[in-house]
Structure 1
Amino acid sequence: MGNIKRIISSEPLPQTIQAIVLEKSEKLTCKEIPLWPLLDYNDDELVLVKVKSCGLCGSDLRYYLGENPWGQHTLGKYIPNPPNIVLGHEFSGEIVAVINPGLRELLGKRVAPICSKVCGHCFYCKHGMENLCPETVHIGHGQGWGERDYFPGAYAEYVPVWAKSCYEISDSMPWETAAMMDLLAVGCHVARRGNIKPEMPIMIIGAGPVGNSIIQVANILGAGRVIILDQAEIPLTLAAKAGADFILDSRELSHSEIIDLVLRTTEGVLPASIFDTVGTKKSFDLGIRLLGKAGTYVNVAVHDLNLDVNSMSIASEKTITSSCNFDVIDYEDTLRWLEEGRIKVDDWIHRISLQDVPYIFPRLIQDQKKDIFKVCINF
């Protein structure tokens, strides 16, 4: 007989766990579900993490409304969502169980895991574009798991992840700070996609969590004047703390007035990088009009929209592109900067419990003032 696999744990494991389940569009339920069946996934690299903190991402709101942002960003097409997704991909926790005896030393480690695993053998993986792998298995997105009663995510007391994806964090780092790692790595990848040029001005449209992440990474990468635009007070206040040089409240401004103010603060030089975290027709139009020669416009929020683009918009060697997920190097660099205190998220957090999640989603969707900046579920 072959070896019988068994779960090796550092604590007694429950048979059921509390989780927030997206049963269908706009229906979130807090319920008891079976503990994730580690042995049934046929992957010895999987470990079980006891979730300590989990961020609520803007993409989670899009899943709630029936979109599939992973499919839109990574594959460029709409993919229907399966029922019973447990959302949540920004998280931190403690490794409490493994399958592979060789991973026993991971038990008890404090980690901030990468939420996905790529196939390693497709065209994109073989050519250094793992973030575009169409066979990605994703925590919190319902992708790559085959047919399941429930799809793994971190809006739950426990979550399965891959050992190689688990990055250890220091004892001094708060759980909720570590839970921001996925978001921050996305911001890092976006900033790098924008081809930031030393001492050249950049502009960020939208001062939400991704926008505030880009500010901090851009400063680390040597950007010149950092300009940020939004229509809400709290995000703009946090942007100033994050290191933005010029804050634009656009509520009463036309596009022409915004362009004039930007040119004044840059002494007539258009931004070399534009980061559009909003992704509407209006924000696209503004971004293209503001983009300088040899500049790069990055769409961070891809939607199914038809955009009017005059080919003159890309004259002077301008680039229009998007950003998708992140690379491992983005995650590793961001974690180092976070540990060193070069990136700060302390002022972002709005803390809730797991049981609050079904009630916070409608509130966030209706929150035009953006009074809540970044929700974090603490366990």
Structure 2
Amino acid sequence: MERKGERLLFFPCLLSSDRSKTMTSQVYQFGWCLQCTREHHFFPPRYFHVLSLRLAFKFSLSKGNKELAEKLNRKCKFWSNGLQWFDGYGVKVLVEIIDESQCVLVMMSCEKGYSDNMVSLRRNVIGEVMSVYKESCPGLKVKALSIDPEELAYPVNTPRERTVYEVLDLLSAIKEGRPFLVSDKGHKEVKEILPDESLSDISNLSLLGGRDIKEVIEIPEEFNIVSANKLEPTIQKVKSDTNYIPTQISESDNDQQKDIDTHTCTINDKVQETHIANRLLDIRDLAVVLQELTSNQQFDYTDWHQLGLYLGLYERTLKAIEEDNRGKSKKCLMECISSWLKGEDGVRETRGGGSNWISLVAALDAMGEREVANDIRKKYL
């Protein structure tokens, strides 16, 4: 396998060990799987070899820092059909080929207060699972499933024996504004199935793995995130519970409508804020980002190299920037942010999923640049 001039050697024959028995007592908070739907379809060994290599390279190992890579490598466990790692940002991930090679299982858990990191990382991991599937075995007939959070006891050998929900059904429920998902096993609130997920922006759900929502389900152009279906039951309930004279009913309805309008505006404002925070910035935003970083001389230009690492740029990229600009810190910072805005190297694997305000603030927080981070957070998050 080659990546930007580097040649990586991988020896799948070394993955012969069994899963550690200590792992059977571990607890997870999220479960997702890609399940073959035909009896004689299965994921070939090459699929797991390619997938495990990519996951280890992108998420469990440090980019360009050999010493840190060795430390993290000790925290990444491999066995014959799976791997597990802790990303250093509060999230533990397990990926395993199960059910006689008919299923790819992804399970995650996070430390308290790090659920946002888990959602961001699972978007990227699911994206890799789907990407390798399309490259290695696109002829397989598969469907994506989300495992009920109450049935995540590990190991999961056969997901079909657990309560699972088709991702397509979940997306349809969210699109149509239905708070409950109805299945042959009963009904359950969508928010209980995806407790850490923001359901206000369907196009940014982690279950999509970074794919365009239109590739998965049909979304009409006029689709509004705030569905009228969510508001109608509230109006009907108010009317049925009202026992005043006609004039009072009219006034009550008007007040209720005002409350609903206000509530709708509030939801729309929050959706807009979420959109701004998650929106990927591009090279056209270079001046704005530099202004936010350097206004009032808050950010030290000489820290550009460290910022670049936290933003997901590789060491070789940063060294090239330094050599090209002969150590001129201001110019180096500009080129560093430019590379970030272009989504180079591992930018998409950082918290936030790419070059947006979320990932920039996370990088600044990690560096201890609290003042700059808080100023940006107040304006954009």
Q: As a proportion of its length, which structure holds more strand?
A: 1
Q: TM-score, normalization: structure 1? A: 0.28
Which one has more relative contact order, counting CA pairs under 8 Å at least 6 apart?
1
Highest CA radius of gyration, 1 or 2? Answer: 2
